[in-house]
Amino acid sequence: MGTPLRGVEFGSPSDEAVSSRVAGDTVPRLRIDAGGRITWSSGLLTGDTKLYRSEAGTLLTEGLFSASGGIVTLATSGSPTVALPDGAIAVDTSNNAFYFRSSGAWSQVTAGAGNAAINVSDTAPVSPTEGDLWFNSLEATTYIYYDGYWIDIAGAAANIPELRQLTDVDADVLVNGDIPVYKQSTDQFVMMPIWEANPVTTTAISSSVSTTIGQFSTTYFTTGEFFVQIVQGSKTTACKIMAAYNGAVTDFTEYGTVEIGSPSIPVTYTTIIEDNYVKLKASISDASDTSATVKVSKIVIGGL
């Protein structure tokens, strides 16, 4: 049985316990202090490489540690949970994932620009970062997150918001034929059946001056049907007016007139072409005595 080499009763942990020098050295090339600190030097200058116990279960070097055969700090089955110092690395051998320790937490090493994450799931990841990658396991398709959308790496976009998902579109209930119409009072687009897309216009007539009560663009349409309602005091009249345009002139006919109250409301209709519109005008001869309110809706037909 061998006899251990012991040094006892040192005055301080920093006292030299073991050292070695080469001929001509002024300081030890290797020195082991009584407290266990190992120090290496060139033999000419004070030791510059140290290895020692800094706390329970921890070895510390104050310089760079290099291992030509590689370093493994932690191997786990699943994501690491051990509270190691910042700078530690870990390998999840079950999922082939790599982690590093920073700010007191483990973070998975990810791929892609800007630490983009690779996600494998049936649905798109929540709160993605520009450059993130998502493998859609239902479609077997890979997407990259760019400019607010998941873009198929083949060029097609995925998960572009539907019209009803936009915050400025009120489309909770949709029916066949609905189209979006801007509503200024709510600063939203509301969905409206196409036959209601031209809202009712209201015009007050307070003099005998001929006033425009409805119109349609001559750029797109050749025919318009106006449904007109006029209320004057306790009297009401309603009719339909069909106006046509042939690219040069316009004409109209009034039909289906219904009148309530006596005498009849003295209204006269005309159509003119003005500012690339066919305009329906109305004049009421006694409107200066009792003002009249005209409401009009229309249906238009293109053709030019």
Residues 14-72 pLDDT 10s:
899 899 999 999 999 999 998 999 999 999 998 899 999 988 888 888 888 888 887 77
241: which residues sit within 8 A by CB, 6+ positions away?
Answer: 225, 226, 228, 252, 253, 254, 255, 269, 280
Cα 108 → chain centroid: 25
Residue 96 pLDDT: 77
CA distance 301 to 48: 92
* pTM more than 0.75: no
Segment 168-217, tens digit of pLDDT: 666 666 666 667 777 777 777 776 655 445 668 899 887 778 999 999 88
Both tokens of residue 184?
């200024």
How would residue 243 be classed by pLDDT, with cut points 50, 70 and 90?
A: very high
- 279: CB partners within 8 A, 6+ apart: 212, 214, 215, 271, 272, 273
Q: Tell me the two tokens of residue 232.
A: 């004057």
- Spatial distance between the Cα atoms of 28 and 135, rounded to a whole number of angstroms: 59
Parts of the chain belonging to CATH 2.60.40.1680: 201-302
Name every residue whose Cβ is closer than 8 Å to that of residue 95 and which is 6 or more positions away in sequence: 78
Per CATH, domain 201-302 is 2.60.40.1680: yes
CA distances from 116 to 1, 76, 87, 98, 273 (A): 61, 23, 20, 14, 61
